[in-house]
Structures are given as structure tokens and as C-alpha cells.
Amino acid sequence: MNYSEMVLDRILHNSTLQIEGRDGMSDNPLGTRNTQNQGIISWVERMAQICQPEQVFWCDGSVPENEFLTRLAAERGVLIPLDQEKWPGCYYHRSEINDVARVEQCTYICTPSADEAGPTNNWAAPADMYSKLYGLAQGAMRGRRMYVVPYLMGPPGSSLAKVGIELTDSIYVVLSMRIMTRMGEIAYRQLGESEGFNRGLHCMLDVSPERRYIAHFPQDNTIISVGSNYGGNVLLGKKCLSLRIGSYLGRQEGWMAEHMLILGVEDPQGEKTYVAAAFPSACGKTNFAMLIPPKRFAGWKVWTVGDDIAWMRPGADGRLCAINPENGYFGVVPGTSYRSNPNAMESMKRDTIFTNVAYASGGDIWWEGKDNPPPENLFDWQGRPWSSSSGEKAAHPNSRFCSPVTNNPALDPKFGHPEGVPISGIIFGGRRATVLPLVFQAFNWIHGVYVGATMGSETTAAAAGAVGQVRRDPMAMLPFCGYNMGAYLGHWLKMRKIIKRPPKIFHVNWFRKDRNGRFLWPGFGDNMRVLKWIIDRCRGRVGADETPLGWMPAASDIDLEGLDYDRARLEEALGIDVEEWKKEILAQDELFLRLHNDLPSELHYQRELLISRL
Ligand code: OXD
Ligand code: MN
């Protein structure tokens, strides 16, 4: 008996509850129980006994169900239909003002010992957290529906795919999960009779930061999220299962769950090279994953496999193979335009849920950085009338679009392949105004692990808290690692032994600025020029200079044709300032001290080697 069951036994005694679903319309089968899996049935029953919903609604992910729930959400004001001519199938949602981003201070890893969660995670003892959260959930769905959402992360039939069941009292969550995951029968089929599914319970409660917990129980493959309705906290397939629980399972089962986009670069001869890239939240993963090459690269094409999460394991040929477990994009909206990311604009043109952008009467929407100026009669994300003189942003900086991947014109044809795509390169990158050059390549896998582990980035609006401060974010996984970060880095080192043909590892920084605060590199589509060098390195087609940081291109190695840009700025973007680097290495102390007990010694050696090279 695990901690969850012990706590449940204490709370529930012998109470029973009918869990057959109904939708209130006797001739309509929507909502009725749709699985025979005894593990699911008995767990749902126990959760319903705790939450005491008026009704249990078993979701099947079908079109009629989606229409029914969308109608209901619109009737209740959870979704506002947009102008259906202009935005077919699109809806607008406003969150509570206090519930607009992931909350790392409310996110817990509940392992039997604090050591297993490690010094970078909030920890609570599983029995204590179960008691607290089942206590909060008790009777929390009285007078409400409990939706049972079966979902599959990953392509059906993939050995990497995982099944989750999310119980939620939020229609917004159900409708978003239908976009973000493969929802319904497909999940039951993958699971069969097995009880090996992730158990996720979500209760909105009163959406108060006082009662907000996102708790993970890796040993039980269980997640409980209460008091929020914001995507990253409540779409449990995403950060909670795919990264926190996923990283824990990956270590046990010999694979990797990473905060990485996956893209394929096709050259004019049709040769395709796949890379995965880890950037912290809101640092341009979606833009990079959907990059449109500049005119100079006519005949080249970038294909998107994923924009946020990669699950990877060695394939039959010894290369690392990656799948995107998700089925949708939950991307940051402000700054997105036909100039910055046409494929994202195409992706959100239809069947999209927008959250916390600005709303114009008549059913239009707007955000800072959109191609057109703000329409008349605009209301900000809080519903207040807005004009350009308001002095505040109309759209929340972390406002989001939630769109099906199939809307993306550049979706890679291998997106749904169960075996995934072979990864030739891994790219790490942060948002750094100084120090970090535009691009360099690690000398080998272990050096690459050090480069990823010591990655730093300026904080963004994707998480609640101060914006713009440099924090160490190993592999962009600081908020998402479901166990001890030191052990996680050890897992990366171990993977080297089971990947016969490991990808090359790179670091990029699109955000370096000059003395006047201007970006040194144009970014966006022109990142293709750097990507081309990376691909050529992966394929052993181009030389590089050996520098203290790793292999680097000379400024003349980056193709600048067709770009109105001074090569001297590229030289500055590629520059290594030894004094700045000494400070950078000292700044890594914070991480090294924090992880000291569990940090693999290889990373200490790598740091020494870097010092000796400077
Ligand atoms: C995201 C995040 O939403 O990283 O992808 O916060
Ligand atoms: Mn992310």
C-alpha cells in the first residue's frame, strides 16, 4: 500500500459513490464510462469519494463531446467565442488575475526523502502532502462535474509513449488537454489492462495562491494540482508528467525527458538533419522550432517536430531518437507576428484557445508585437478598457495560444512516427546580454554536459517572480527536474555509455547586446545562418577554431550573404572576453555549492579544464 492509499483509507472509511457518468440528457451517451480498466475505475471511484462531484463525466475526446463542452464553456463565460469568420474555431479565456504563470514556489517533489528531490526542488514528505491535498480536495467538487480525461503522451504504439488520466473540475483544462494531448480511446488502447498510467488530480478550489500546490509523487506516478487553472500548473500532461515525472521515469528506465524543441533541417538536396534544443521558458523555443530560413537559403526548410519537450532514447542504429510527447502548442503570444514567426501565426489561425491576450469587442484579439496596430474598443487581459496611453500592457506578457500541431504548415512528416527522429545535435542556449558568444561546440559529450549544466539565463514572465535576473538553469530543467538535479546530471553522463553514436553538443546565445544595449545578432530567421554551421559540424563538413570554450566558427564561416549586417558585429557576438569568463566561472559557484553533495566529479574536472584553458 503506498502513501496515497494509506491517507485515502484514513479519510474515506467506507463511503461509496456512484461514478457512472451522465450528461443530463438521457438519450445522449456523452460522459458515460468508457473503459473496463479496473485500475482506472477503482482510482476514479476513490478520487470521486474524496472530491464528491455531483457527476463524473468520462471524456472520449470526440468531436460531439468537444462541441458540447465548448458550448457549455461559452454559456458559463469560461470561453468567449471570437469572431468565427476571422478566427474559426477560436475562443478567448481570461484567467484569474492572480493565476497567470507557473508558480515554482508552489511546486513540490514529494519523494520519501528530501535528498531524492534535491536542493533545487521544494520537497514535502509524501504522506504529509497527500494528507494536506486530499484534505483540500475533500468535497471540493460538490455541485460540480469531475471530468475524467484519458490521454496519451507520444505517438500511439511508441515504446516511449505514456498514458495519463487527469481528473479535473475545469472545462478549460479538458478543452486544452484535447488540443495538447492525444485524448480519449487512443489512450485506453495504449494502456490495455495495465495499471501503469499516471494518476493526475486537478481541483481548482477557489483559485487562490494561498491554497495553490502542484505536487508530484514520482514513486507513485501521481500528480495533484490544486488552486490554479493556469496551463503550466494544470495541463498535467505537459510540465508535470512529460518533464517532472518523465525525468524520474527516464532515469529509472534508461531514457531522457528534456525541456527541448526538436526540429529537422532539410537542405535543397533533400538531406534532413534533426537537432534538439534546450532553452529556458520564453527564450524563443517556439520561434526556433518554426524558423523560416531567409531568402539566401532558398530550397532549405526547417520542419517542426516539437517546440517544448523531447523524450529521447537510443534507437536501433545507436543514435539518440526523439519524440515530441505533445500534440499541441502552448506558446507565448506577445511578440508573435508574421514577421517573427509566420508558422506560429498560421498555427493559431483556427481551433485555438487564447488566454490573457487583449480582447476587442466584436470578437477580435490583439497583443503587443502583433503585425497590425491595436483595434478600436480594446480591453486588456484583465477586461479593462485599454488604449495606447494606458501605460500598461494590453496582453499579459505570458499570454498564451493553445493550438493543435496539425495547424503548423511546417509540421514534420515524422512527427507521429513511433520510433521518433534521429538527433544529430543538441543545442543549449540561454538569454544572456553579455559574456556568452553567439555559438560554440563542446569538445565532447561530457564537456557538453558541463556546458548544459552551467547554462544561465535571464528570468522571463513564464514563471511568477522577478524578470531579467541571471539564474543558473541546468539544461533549462531547473523548474522541471523531478528528482535530485545532481543525480539528473549524473544520468546525462551515464547516457553517454548507452548511446553508441551520441549527438554533438552546442551552445548558442541569440541575445548578446553591445555597449549601447542593442542586440548584436539579428535573430529570428537569420538564426538559420548559425544553424547551418551547426548542421555542417554535425555532418563533419566544416572546420572550426579551437578556443577555450570549445570549437567555434571564425566570423567568415557564418554565411551573411543577403543580410544588411556588419561582419564586425558578428565578430563582437563571437568574442570571448577572458576577464568576463573568469567572473562567469565564479558565478557558477552558486550552482556548484548548491549541488555539491551530488554533483558528478566530471563536472568539477570540466570546470578546472576550462579554467586552465582560459
Ligand atoms: C512553458 C514553460 O510553458 O516553459 O513551456 O513555462
Ligand atoms: Mn517550456
What pLDDT shows up at residue 470? 85
What pLDDT shows up at residue 21? 55
Instruction: Give the ligand whose atoms come closest to the C-alpha of residue 260.
Output: 2
**Does residue 188 register a pLDDT over 90?**
yes
Instruction: Give the ligand whose atoms come closest to the C-alpha of residue 400.
Output: 1
Report the alpha-carbon angle 346-352-354, nearest 5.
105
Closest CA relative to residue 151, chosen from 92, 90, 200:
200
What pLDDT shows up at residue 20? 56
What pLDDT shows up at residue 2? 74
Pocket test for ligand 1, best of 104, 107, 234, 239 (most atoms within 8 A of CB): 239
CA of 231, closest atom in ligand 1? 3
Instruction: Give the ligand whose atoms come closest to the C-alpha of residue 459.
Output: 1
**Does residue 515 register a pLDDT over 70?**
yes
C-alpha cell at 26: 438521457
Instruction: List residues with catalytic annotation.
Output: 283
Average pLDDT estimate for 174-200: 98
Q: Pocket around ligand 1: residues whose beta carbon is below 6 Å from it?
A: 102, 232, 281, 308, 330, 462
Whole-model pTM: value is: 0.95
Q: pLDDT tens for residues 16-47?
A: 455 555 444 444 589 999 999 999 999 999 99
Q: Which residues pair with 472 in a beta bridge?
A: 456
Closest CA relative to residue 100, chosen from 460, 351, 416:
460
Instruction: Collect all residues with Cβ–Cβ distance below 8 Å to 605 and sequence separation of at least 6.
Output: none
Say which residue, 100 or 4, is predicted with more confidence: 100
For residue 570, give the 3-state DSSP assignment.
helix
Average pLDDT estimate for 335-360: 97
Report how far ligand 1's centroid is from the alpha carbon of 427 (Å): 18
Pocket test for ligand 1, best of 107, 243, 308 (most atoms within 8 A of CB): 308
Report how far ligand 1's centroid is from the alpha carbon of 399 (Å): 11
Average pLDDT estimate for 272-297: 95
Question: What residue's CA is closest to ligand 1, atom 3?
Answer: 232
CA-CA distance, 224 to 201, in Å (whole number)?
Answer: 5
For residue 340, what pLDDT band results from cuts at 50, 70 and 90? very high
User: For 25-29, 136-140, 605-609, which range has the lowest pLDDT when averaged over its residues?
Assistant: 25-29
Mean pLDDT, the chain, as a whole number? Answer: 95
CA of 232, closest atom in ligand 1? 3
Instruction: Give the ligand whose atoms come closest to the C-alpha of residue 355.
Output: 1
Q: pLDDT tens for residues 216-228?
A: 999 999 999 999 9
What pLDDT shows up at residue 11? 67
Question: What residue's CA is closest to ligand 1, atom 2?
Answer: 281
Report how far ligand 1's centroid is from the alpha carbon of 286 (Å): 10
Report how far ligand 1's centroid is from the alpha carbon of 528 (Å): 23
Pocket test for ligand 1, best of 95, 100, 102 (most atoms within 8 A of CB): 102
Report how far ligand 1's centroid is from the alpha carbon of 403 (Å): 14
For residue 3, what pLDDT band results from cuts at 50, 70 and 90? confident
Average pLDDT estimate for 60-76: 97
What pLDDT shows up at residue 1? 64
Question: What residue's CA is closest to ligand 1, atom 1?
Answer: 281
Q: pLDDT tens for residues 403-458?
A: 999 999 999 999 999 999 999 999 999 999 999 999 999 999 999 999 999 999 88
**Does residue 141 register a pLDDT over 60?**
yes
In the chain, what percentage of residues exceed pLDDT 70? Answer: 96
C-alpha cell at 486: 545532481
Average pLDDT estimate for 469-484: 94
Question: What residue's CA is closest to ligand 1, atom 4?
Answer: 281
Average pLDDT estimate for 331-342: 96
Report how far ligand 1's centroid is from the alpha carbon of 88 (Å): 26
For residue 231, what pLDDT band results from cuts at 50, 70 and 90? very high
Q: What is the dihedral of CA 183, 186, 191, 197, to 10 degrees?
A: -10
For residue 14, what pLDDT band results from cuts at 50, 70 and 90? very low
Q: What is the dihedral of CA 16, 184, 322, 220, to 10 degrees?
A: 0
What pLDDT shows up at residue 451? 98
192: left (phi over 0), alpha (psi -120 to 50) or beta: left
CA of 480, closest atom in ligand 1? 4
For residue 4, what pLDDT band results from cuts at 50, 70 and 90? confident
**Does residue 534 register a pLDDT over 90?**
yes
Average pLDDT estimate for 490-499: 97
Report how far ligand 2's centroid is from the alpha carbon of 19 (Å): 35
What pLDDT shows up at residue 26? 42
What pLDDT shows up at residue 424? 98
Q: pLDDT tens for residues 304-322?
A: 999 999 999 999 999 999 9
Task: Please report how many Cα atoms fall inside a 13 Å half-sphere around the Cα of residue 368, on the Cβ side.
Answer: 17
Contact 297, 399 (CB under 8 A): no
Average pLDDT estimate for 105-131: 98
Closest CA relative to residue 256, chosen from 265, 264, 248:
248
In the chain, what percentage of residues exceed pLDDT 90? Answer: 92
**Does residue 265 register a pLDDT over 60?**
yes
Report how far ligand 2's centroid is from the alpha carbon of 284 (Å): 10
CA of 102, closest atom in ligand 1? 6
C-alpha cell at 14: 467506507
CA-CA distance, 403 to 395, in Å (whole number)?
Answer: 18
Closest CA relative to residue 193, chosen from 166, 158, 163, 225:
163
For residue 6, give the 3-state DSSP assignment.
helix
Instruction: Give the ligand whose atoms come closest to the C-alpha of residue 463.
Output: 1
